[in-house]
Amino acid sequence: MNKQLESYLCTRYPKLLHTEGPGSLYLFGFECQDGWFTLIYAACELIQEHSSYRDSEQVVASQVKEKFGGLRFYYHGGDDYIEAVVDLVERLSESICELCGAPGLIRERNGWLSARCEAHERRCAMPTPKLDEWIRQGDSMARVLGSALKLFAFSATETARWLTSPAMAAGMKSPLELLQPTNGHRIVLNLIGRIEYGLPL
């Protein structure tokens, strides 16, 4: 991940993302591409909020990397909620291009698995968002994931399934696809609200 994004995360979440000492992220950094920034940001936001306000044990990340095409977020500490948050972002990473953050899927090339959008699968260059745009998208992702997890009683499996399945009320796009491009989170939060209150979609 580019150093500007890494250092933003480490500065924003110093308790969670240690950069000094044995086993810290300093040794390896974030071993994945920029496209998963919003997922990592959302995970950090939800984990830190939970650790700080629920008086829970402080979670510490030990490694953040790509493995078998998906995101892996290794950590110490935490409870069932933290486990659900991490499980959810790891599952969703398989539907988000690791290079640019656009909707994607796991593709195989020469025996390697990677999460790519169509453009990157065709090896087309895509514009990279600026830091403030990444942060805005990360905030939206955190709000949507927090609300969706609550809606599905903190089941990462159910939440990931809903977020990645085409929804009639969303023009047969998945809620995750709606998050792209900008401001799609409002539509997704509205969908979540309507389901929560049993309103027609």
User: Would you tell me which residues interact with Zn ion (CB under 5 A)?
Assistant: 97, 99-100, 102, 117, 120
Phi, psi for 37 (deg, rounded to 5):
-55, -45
Considering the complex, state which of residue 102 and residue 189 has its C-beta at the smaller distance from Zn ion. 102
Smallest distance from Zn ion to CB 136, Å:
18
Helix (H) or strand (E) holding 71: strand 70-76
* Nearest to 59, CA basis, from 17, 10, 110: 17
Q: Is 112 helix (H, G, I), strand (E, B) or coil?
A: strand
**For Zn ion, the closer CB: 117 or 163:** 117
**Residue facing Zn ion at closest CB distance:** 97
Min dist CB 176 to Zn ion, Å, is 14
Q: Do residues 178 and 188 lie in contact, with contact meaning Cβ atoms separated by under 8 Å?
A: yes
The token pair that represents 10 in the structure block: 């480490």
Which of 125, 153 has the CB closer to Zn ion? 125
Between 128 and 157, name the residue whose CB sits nearer to Zn ion. Answer: 128
Nearest distance, CB of residue 100 and Zn ion, angstroms:
3
Distance CA 34, CA 51 (A): 26
Report, in Å, the least distance between residue 191 CB and Zn ion: 25
